[in-house]
Structure 1
Amino acid sequence: MSDFSQDNAAIFSQLTRFGHQEVVFCNDEDTGLRAIIAIHDTTLGPALGGTRMWQYKSEAEALQDVLRLSRTMTLKAAISGLNLGGGQAVIIGDSRGHKTEAMMRRFGRFIQNLNGSFITAEDLGTNLRDMEFIRMETSFVTGVPESIGGSGDPAPVTARGVFMGIKACVREMFGSDDLAGRSVAVQGVGHVGENLVRMLREENARVYVSDINDERPGRVAKRYGAEAISNNALFDIEFDVYAPCAFGATVNTDTIRKMKCAIIAGSANNQLADEKKHGKMLLDKGIIYAPDYLINAGGMINCYSEIAGYNKKRTMQLTENIYEATRSVLRKSREEHIPANEAADIIALKRISDIKKIKGSYICGK
């Protein structure tokens, strides 16, 4: 078998593993665009997912990331009750030096050619301005500035969903969702993390903040009356809630062994390095875990509201439903003694399965 055939076999093997419907590779020499769009499932509606721009070590790493993230978006939409499917896009490159208007507009043309099966929004390495450029070539983009009819920055809405998830977990663990006096460590204080810190401090929680950017924790801590700590010292401190709001895989074998917290609930995607193994470790250790794709769904809800024409009030109402959705997942986890991430998957996949049956019956005329 040739190297080319082996590479193709590996790609199709990954598509089969994750159950994707379609993966599109986008290449444009004139603009330097190298991108992958993954459409995981469109049972509930068109696939919505962010466009991430990152300097991946290899194309294989980029493919693995886009496949995993797009599947997560399917589960996120399903468990949030949204009529959307899951998708994701990644652009390979350094967002600080390689990104241009021409590149983003050319990427918009690729999205347009998918005829509405994929709708994008901002993600790591992209911003509102990039969405404006994409919007120049296609209408299948959300999260554009409010000045041109969009919903604007989704970070405050995402943070609100995480906040509601934390309150649900605190109620499950301590019997009350009152955050006054509770201690929360927020790792990563970008747009979402900083908004979360503000909400927590407004309820008089004691908040620790850390970030890979050495200057950011001090600034955020001073602004909101929090306490800045280094990333290296994060798991040496005892606190009630660990809220990862930066990169994924921070919940792994080493960190779980060190953790002195009761709850993990944050906005970062793919927090568990190994979903099956580490979900079970948390269950055995008695740590409550709020599945990331459930409580960070506020950004997706914000984009969905833009598509559906909802106002800000309705958007926040939908986001606050994350509280009860989290309670349902934690209840199932407790009653069936299964990891919370497994409980969330079961609930999300059941909704997709049920809708498939309805659609099948409709098509067959039953």
Structure 2
Amino acid sequence: MSAGLLGLLDDIAAIAKLAAASLDDVGAAAGRATAKAAGVVVDDTAVTPQYVHGVAADRELPIVKKIAWGSIRNKVLVILPIALVLSEWLPWLLTPILMLGGTYLAFEGAEKIWRRVRGHTDHEKPAAAVGPEAEKTLVAGAIRTDLILSAEIMVIALDEVADEGFWARLAILLVVAVVITVIVYGVVALIVKMDDVGLSLAQRESEVARRVGRALVTGMPKVLAAISVVGTVAMLWVGGHILLVGVDELGWHGLYDLVHHGEEAIAAAVPGIGGFLAWCFNTLCSALVGLVVGAVAVAVMHLLPFGHDDDPRDEPVGHAAGTGAGGTAAPGGDRPDEH
């Protein structure tokens, strides 16, 4: 009996070690996959704050939370099952699906530029003042855009762990989905609430704290406006890159080879920073591809019978009069949403 018990305990210890090793492998693979998708994670972080730019301060975090939960649902309930099934049985479909998503991203970025050129600036009431329906439209638009960026993240991660078994891939991608969502929307929450931190500091007794607070309050609207521009460029960049790589994988190599040879030439011609300049060249070319495809998509959408010029998403993200990026008044003033 004693020998049998010791044997059982030894087997349990061996199983525990195997499980621990498996968890280590999953963690390591998830880390590699997350790092590989880091570029799109940056884009996701840049795109998202524009959806809460100008909303009432007390609605910022609830909106970010709704978008974050939508992102988790996108990754876990939609993208992950489809990606695993397609990678197992129909891997050739992944590229065309990603290219459709890239086209949508390019359309979104080009439409924002088109509306700004036409003078449709975001100066209407914040979402909380307009009403729940406007906020719902804003959140839905953010989740739709997140779906494309999340798909790109998950497919990049899937490609990194393609040699793993089915269950290992499932566990790794679940970890990637949760970790990336927490990072992206944690950073977004910090960005959109930074002006409130500044307001609090500006009301303290310390002169240093007041200066830092005033700098944050006056500077964050400019930072958020810049992030909005970065987000638009990121849509064109990521969408164009998806299309550039996609046409190459489908057998049309000319455009991709042209960009690739240009990268190699730049990297070889400039010692030291050649690699960075080559990346910038690739990014510029991807953004131009996204802009061209997006402009065509915008033209088609506005020519079709169901196309329209008035986008309801523009109203929720406007500035309320006298407010900063998050509905925050200048130091010493009152919040318009607190009355």
TM-score normalised over the length of structure 1: 0.24
Q: Relative to total residues, which structure has the larger helix share, 1 or 2?
A: 2
**Which has more strand, going by share of residues?**
1
Normalization by structure 2: what TM-score? Answer: 0.25
Higher relative contact order (CA 8 A, sep 6+): 2
